[in-house]
Chains A and B, each alone.
Chain A
């Protein structure tokens, strides 16, 4: 971000100074955070005593970014009360669920982050499905979600589906009795509140008295229920600023559907619809190329490159690879390009839809060990060591904590977060122990010699640190797996970090290498013709990944599609080069 005094464009000024509800469509790199910060400055300048602004976004990372920015600018007091900043889910939880509890339930409601992962297994030997595959209200299976997990609804007899639905409903009922709610259930309950006219009016009046505006950032991640909540707030007279880029909606798996967003935007009168089309991030070629990744019906013209790179003429690069899998030559070629462009390798990720293909491209193939405990431990140790940020570290620490609880046999049938909530376990009570284990198990060829040595050391350490009471030994619980060699050997040298598309949302990097696979054919079909529609989400993912790049955008494509991709990207005048690797 530039440190120069901020000179807003006309579009930006219109959003900063707007004085009622608004629906703002912001292109990638539109300086959204900057605009919201400036808007906050205007709002806070004359804010009356006791009133605040609610800032909502959809991921912890986005909230963290906005929070940091607002604090740097001295716009957020500590404590932040009566303002609010947090995820949409936490807002819904804090203002619509927690104070009211559950109908006919005395238990204190608790948000359990991972109830969606609890397993539904209606009979022994049944294909286990996570709770997230079932509609919260009815328990009916979500076909698509189940299909991804290898469960084809159309191939199953009705009585079996009924058994699944009953099992899922029963599981939810048991959770509910204990006040334990997942995000989906919490949202359902919030909607119940809002459907109660009297109560909804009361809540709306209370929130209008407290907040002079609610700003919803990244609103493309809203699902229809979220939009209902926002509509309700807006109808009550509370000004709502909705900021989104519908093309970046990539949470279809949690029900984020772009069509609803467009319908929602239609409820705003013209004067309340704003666009931010100036891209301050990327080069003109990148702007032109990514415009071609929007669906045909919404393609529009490329965004204007207005940032420091507006005169940079570097072309978009396509790396055409042959063979079945994703080759590690993608990583090495990308690194070469980075070197030529004088871009630090550490600031340029290799982005793919899945962790596995990204890792393969970076030359760090991950074993398909999946749920094997020893592999999970080794992965967490490696992830912790090479963490790209605090969030990665936290994930690694949590996953080891969970593993330790599993080894000690404490989780029983419940989920990790359920266990934490029920026993009121605070991170402070275990984090230091887990971190010291992570540090002690850091793979070092000098001490451990090889994966076998590390495995022995891990068993020895955990036998000392854990209390296992079910009679099994640590050796039985932490068995050898051949994948360990690969996990522990995968010490990234000077190579770009593999990342998933979801993890780079909202970020920007000097250079990005997007890895596409065989799905690219379908994506191009969709982009050229609008069919098949089930590729829309994959296309949006590609859009999100590609639009992260500031200076250098590299797309690795299977040989069969490379030229076709080039032709498509050039559609609005972008300069694109194809290199065979």
Chain B
């Protein structure tokens, strides 16, 4: 059994949304304020903590700002119930197959009762669930680890106390505390006592004689012991030292390990959802992958069938919220749910029709002439969180594998959306920011900031289709990309005269793909005639390019002059030949230096177009 879908209505940044989850691991990715934490919190409100200690409760402020009536509703749908689970969760089943169960929570702040309490319901008729059944589904929450050291340090014994309790088993806590207690038997304590007693006797003589003894509290409880226990940590084989000397990252791992211990208790539940928020905080990329690997393995292990088929399944489902491209790149894209904030379309059915928002807030649907500007009476609609489960996008398996392989190696932020620029190679990726900063967007700081927020993706090839498909496919009206610009070479020199340009064909294909996806207004294809280098020469930058080229090939001046002197296809072919044994990245690096320093650089038209399109 696993959480398949979460429905949120008027909950914080969500207006009305369904979020789907994968069986083992789901990674929620997206920008800050996208709504990832709100999804995690919804699951926390909908299920019982494994430890039984609830730390999050419904609040009035959880109701989406400004909605009426003042209510929000969350519901979680679980699928794949085994017969024993069907028996235990019967009151929550949603149809006659009994294989699906649903628990929901309705919070109604308009209720006339003085204490507003969330109402828990279950099943297809939203009835009260059988008492106890809801507790079969649990969660463990791992907060963003900002300060694991403090959570594990003294004065905050809860974590260590929880561990001690976990391993207590049949033992009596009193006995354990007693045997862990420190002795007061040392001579030095006796000496101190004797010295103090001498003074005390004199002072209290004739009044009420007092005795004194220095020692530890005589009735230490387990929690007192826990308060004084310290985790020590060090590389393997070295004597561990106190945690305060360790780095944040390893302290975080230790903290996660202590929580993972608790997961053993998940055996008594049907399903435990392990909710991890921003595991990347304070972890370097390799450790992030290690953590994710660890979580995924735990989830896989939990799926092994148990000896007693009627026992609670003890399944584990991992849900991670992150904005680390490292983590998202590491998992198959099917496990990713992209979370983003968008302005609701003006024609949606909640309330009177709302005007289109300012352009920055509504990238998916650019304002048209008909939409009136926002006025004081009708404020722009509040942005709402939306989700795109990549598993639900219309991608073929080869497409998916291609994207996965690419991301795995490059750790690219490709799927983080917003404004995306796809280019063929590293040369374009290196040169474009320099060109934008020093030339095209010079003295336009606001637009340059927009340009900087874009994701640059050199795909090292020309097969843009899988990436474009992933970025442009709408799910329930929302897409990952707000704007997609693709720069590709015309490659005219590679075909005979009169044939269609390879770049032109790519443009046509991708334009029709975008049109299919209803995303024509989002995609800009910028195609040159030949290739980057040939176009740079054609734009009149031969002089500065020659300088750079000769820096790499000091003996090739004649060859360069000869090639540049040619015209049209011949020149393009010759320039292409010049670069055959020149690392394009190296050349682009050196050229970038020149471009940054030179006032006289001429930007080729298609590059200018691309930069303008990206910040549009």
Which residues of A approach B to under 8 Å, CB–CB?
A: 48-51, 79-82, 94-95, 98-101, 107-109, 179, 199, 202-203, 205-211
Interchain CB contact (< 8 A) of A99 among B90, B267, B308, B312: B90
Given contacts A49-B311, A98-B127, contact A202 B84 (CB under 8 A): no
CB-based contact A48/B87 at 8 Å: no
B-chain residues with CB within 8 Å of residue A94 when the two chains form the complex = 90-91, 130
Interchain CB contact (< 8 A) of A211 among B87, B123, B268, B308: B87
Beta-carbon nearest neighbor of B308 in chain A = A48
CB-based contact A209/B132 at 8 Å: no
CB-based contact A210/B96 at 8 Å: no
In the bound assembly, the distance between CA atoms of A80 and B130 in angstroms comes to 10
Beta-carbon nearest neighbor of B97 in chain A = A202
CB-based contact A50/B127 at 8 Å: no
CB-based contact B131/A50 at 8 Å: no
CB-based contact B96/A51 at 8 Å: no
In the bound assembly, the distance between CA atoms of A99 and B89 in angstroms comes to 10
Beyond A205-B87, A208-B83, 13 additional contacts (C-beta under 8 Å) are: A48-B308, A48-B310, A50-B84, A50-B311, A80-B132, A99-B92, A205-B83, A205-B86, A206-B83, A206-B87, A206-B90, A209-B82, A209-B83
CB-based contact B308/A209 at 8 Å: no
Question: Do most interface residues of chain A lie in helix, strand or loop, or is the interface mixed?
Answer: loop
In the bound assembly, the distance between CA atoms of A199 and B312 in angstroms comes to 23
CB-based contact B131/A81 at 8 Å: yes
B-chain residues with CB within 8 Å of residue A109 when the two chains form the complex = 125
CB-based contact B132/A50 at 8 Å: no
Beta-carbon nearest neighbor of B132 in chain A = A81
Q: Check B334 for interface membership: any CB of A closer than 8 A.
A: no
Interchain CB contact (< 8 A) of A79 among B86, B131, B267: B131
Interchain CB contact (< 8 A) of B85 among A81, A98, A202, A209: A209
Given contacts A81-B131, A101-B125, A203-B98, contact A50 B88 (CB under 8 A): yes
In the bound assembly, the distance between CA atoms of A80 and B92 in angstroms comes to 17
A-chain residues with CB within 8 Å of residue B268 when the two chains form the complex = 49-50
CB-based contact A209/B310 at 8 Å: yes
Interface residues of B in 135-178 (CB under 8 A from A): 135-136
A-chain residues with CB within 8 Å of residue B311 when the two chains form the complex = 48-51
With both chains docked as a complex, state the minimum distance between the C-beta of A569 and any C-beta of chain B, in angstroms. 49
B-chain residues with CB within 8 Å of residue A202 when the two chains form the complex = 83, 86, 96-98
Given contacts A49-B268, A81-B130, A203-B98, contact A210 B125 (CB under 8 A): no
A-chain residues with CB within 8 Å of residue B136 when the two chains form the complex = 50
In the bound assembly, the distance between CA atoms of A50 and B98 in angstroms comes to 18
B-chain residues with CB within 8 Å of residue A79 when the two chains form the complex = 131-132
B-chain residues with CB within 8 Å of residue A199 when the two chains form the complex = 96
Interface residues of B in 103-153 (CB under 8 A from A): 123-127, 130-133, 135-136
Q: Check B37 for interface membership: any CB of A closer than 8 A.
A: no
A-chain residues with CB within 8 Å of residue B90 when the two chains form the complex = 94-95, 99, 203, 206
In the bound assembly, the distance between CA atoms of A8 and B312 in angstroms comes to 35
With both chains docked as a complex, state the minimum distance between the C-beta of A247 and any C-beta of chain B, in angstroms. 35
Given contacts A49-B308, A81-B131, A108-B125, contact A99 B91 (CB under 8 A): yes
B-chain residues with CB within 8 Å of residue A101 when the two chains form the complex = 124-125
With both chains docked as a complex, state the minimum distance between the C-beta of A431 and any C-beta of chain B, in angstroms. 16
CB-based contact A209/B84 at 8 Å: yes
With both chains docked as a complex, state the minimum distance between the C-beta of B392 and any C-beta of chain A, in angstroms. 28
In the bound assembly, the distance between CA atoms of A202 and B92 in angstroms comes to 15
CB-based contact B87/A98 at 8 Å: no
Q: Check B93 for interface membership: any CB of A closer than 8 A.
A: yes
CB-based contact A99/B93 at 8 Å: yes
Beta-carbon nearest neighbor of A95 in chain B = B90
- Between A and B, 25 residue pairs with Cβ closer than 8 Å are A48-B310, A49-B311, A50-B312, A51-B310, A80-B132, A81-B131, A82-B88, A82-B133, A94-B91, A94-B130, A95-B90, A98-B127, A99-B90, A99-B92, A107-B125, A108-B126, A199-B96, A206-B83, A206-B86, A206-B87, A209-B82, A209-B84, A209-B88, A209-B309, A210-B84
CB-based contact B83/A49 at 8 Å: no
Beta-carbon nearest neighbor of B133 in chain A = A81
With both chains docked as a complex, state the minimum distance between the C-beta of B561 and any C-beta of chain A, in angstroms. 83
In the bound assembly, the distance between CA atoms of A133 and B312 in angstroms comes to 46
CB-based contact A98/B91 at 8 Å: yes
B-chain residues with CB within 8 Å of residue A209 when the two chains form the complex = 82-88, 309-310
CB-based contact A99/B123 at 8 Å: yes
B-chain residues with CB within 8 Å of residue A207 when the two chains form the complex = 87
CB-based contact A108/B127 at 8 Å: yes
- Tell which of A50, A81, A199 has the most Cβ of chain B within 10 Å: A50
With both chains docked as a complex, state the minimum distance between the C-beta of B48 and any C-beta of chain A, in angstroms. 12
Beta-carbon nearest neighbor of A81 in chain B = B132
Residues 494-532 of chain B: 1 if any A CB is under 8 Å from the residue's CB, otherwise 0?
A: 000000000000000000000000000000000000000
CB-based contact A206/B98 at 8 Å: yes
With both chains docked as a complex, state the minimum distance between the C-beta of A95 and any C-beta of chain B, in angstroms. 6
CB-based contact B125/A98 at 8 Å: yes
With both chains docked as a complex, state the minimum distance between the C-beta of A430 and any C-beta of chain B, in angstroms. 15
A-chain residues with CB within 8 Å of residue B130 when the two chains form the complex = 81, 94
- Tell which of A49, A94, A95, A203 has the most Cβ of chain B within 10 Å: A49
Beta-carbon nearest neighbor of A193 in chain B = B96
With both chains docked as a complex, state the minimum distance between the C-beta of B132 and any C-beta of chain A, in angstroms. 2
B-chain residues with CB within 8 Å of residue A51 when the two chains form the complex = 84, 310-311
Beta-carbon nearest neighbor of B126 in chain A = A108
Beta-carbon nearest neighbor of A106 in chain B = B125
Interface residues of B in 36-95 (CB under 8 A from A): 82-88, 90-93
Interchain CB contact (< 8 A) of A50 among B83, B96, B97, B310: B310
CB-based contact A208/B93 at 8 Å: no
With both chains docked as a complex, state the minimum distance between the C-beta of B263 and any C-beta of chain A, in angstroms. 16
A-chain residues with CB within 8 Å of residue B309 when the two chains form the complex = 209
A-chain residues with CB within 8 Å of residue B126 when the two chains form the complex = 108
In the bound assembly, the distance between CA atoms of A94 and B131 in angstroms comes to 12
In the bound assembly, the distance between CA atoms of A48 and B309 in angstroms comes to 11
A-chain residues with CB within 8 Å of residue B132 when the two chains form the complex = 79-82
In the bound assembly, the distance between CA atoms of A202 and B93 in angstroms comes to 12
B-chain residues with CB within 8 Å of residue A210 when the two chains form the complex = 84, 87-88, 310
CB-based contact B312/A49 at 8 Å: yes
Beta-carbon nearest neighbor of B121 in chain A = A108
In the bound assembly, the distance between CA atoms of A108 and B97 in angstroms comes to 18
A-chain residues with CB within 8 Å of residue B123 when the two chains form the complex = 98-99
In the bound assembly, the distance between CA atoms of A105 and B96 in angstroms comes to 14
With both chains docked as a complex, state the minimum distance between the C-beta of B64 and any C-beta of chain A, in angstroms. 26
Residues 298-337 of chain B: 1 if any A CB is under 8 Å from the residue's CB, otherwise 0?
A: 0000000000111110000000000000000000000000
Given contacts A108-B126, A109-B125, A202-B98, contact A208 B308 (CB under 8 A): no
- Tell which of B97, B130, B309 has the most Cβ of chain A within 10 Å: B130
With both chains docked as a complex, state the minimum distance between the C-beta of A486 and any C-beta of chain B, in angstroms. 44
Beta-carbon nearest neighbor of A52 in chain B = B88
In the bound assembly, the distance between CA atoms of A510 and B267 in angstroms comes to 51
In the bound assembly, the distance between CA atoms of A179 and B83 in angstroms comes to 27
With both chains docked as a complex, state the minimum distance between the C-beta of A373 and any C-beta of chain B, in angstroms. 31
Beta-carbon nearest neighbor of A212 in chain B = B310
A-chain residues with CB within 8 Å of residue B127 when the two chains form the complex = 98, 108
In the bound assembly, the distance between CA atoms of A173 and B96 in angstroms comes to 23
Beta-carbon nearest neighbor of A100 in chain B = B96
In the bound assembly, the distance between CA atoms of A206 and B267 in angstroms comes to 20
With both chains docked as a complex, state the minimum distance between the C-beta of B308 and any C-beta of chain A, in angstroms. 5
In the bound assembly, the distance between CA atoms of A100 and B125 in angstroms comes to 9
In the bound assembly, the distance between CA atoms of A79 and B135 in angstroms comes to 10
In the bound assembly, the distance between CA atoms of A179 and B127 in angstroms comes to 13
With both chains docked as a complex, state the minimum distance between the C-beta of B134 and any C-beta of chain A, in angstroms. 9
A-chain residues with CB within 8 Å of residue B124 when the two chains form the complex = 99, 101
With both chains docked as a complex, state the minimum distance between the C-beta of B111 and any C-beta of chain A, in angstroms. 12
With both chains docked as a complex, state the minimum distance between the C-beta of A198 and any C-beta of chain B, in angstroms. 8
A-chain residues with CB within 8 Å of residue B308 when the two chains form the complex = 48-49
Interface residues of B in 358-404 (CB under 8 A from A): none
In the bound assembly, the distance between CA atoms of A95 and B133 in angstroms comes to 13
In the bound assembly, the distance between CA atoms of A82 and B135 in angstroms comes to 11
In the bound assembly, the distance between CA atoms of A210 and B93 in angstroms comes to 15
- Tell which of B83, B126, B135 has the most Cβ of chain A within 10 Å: B83
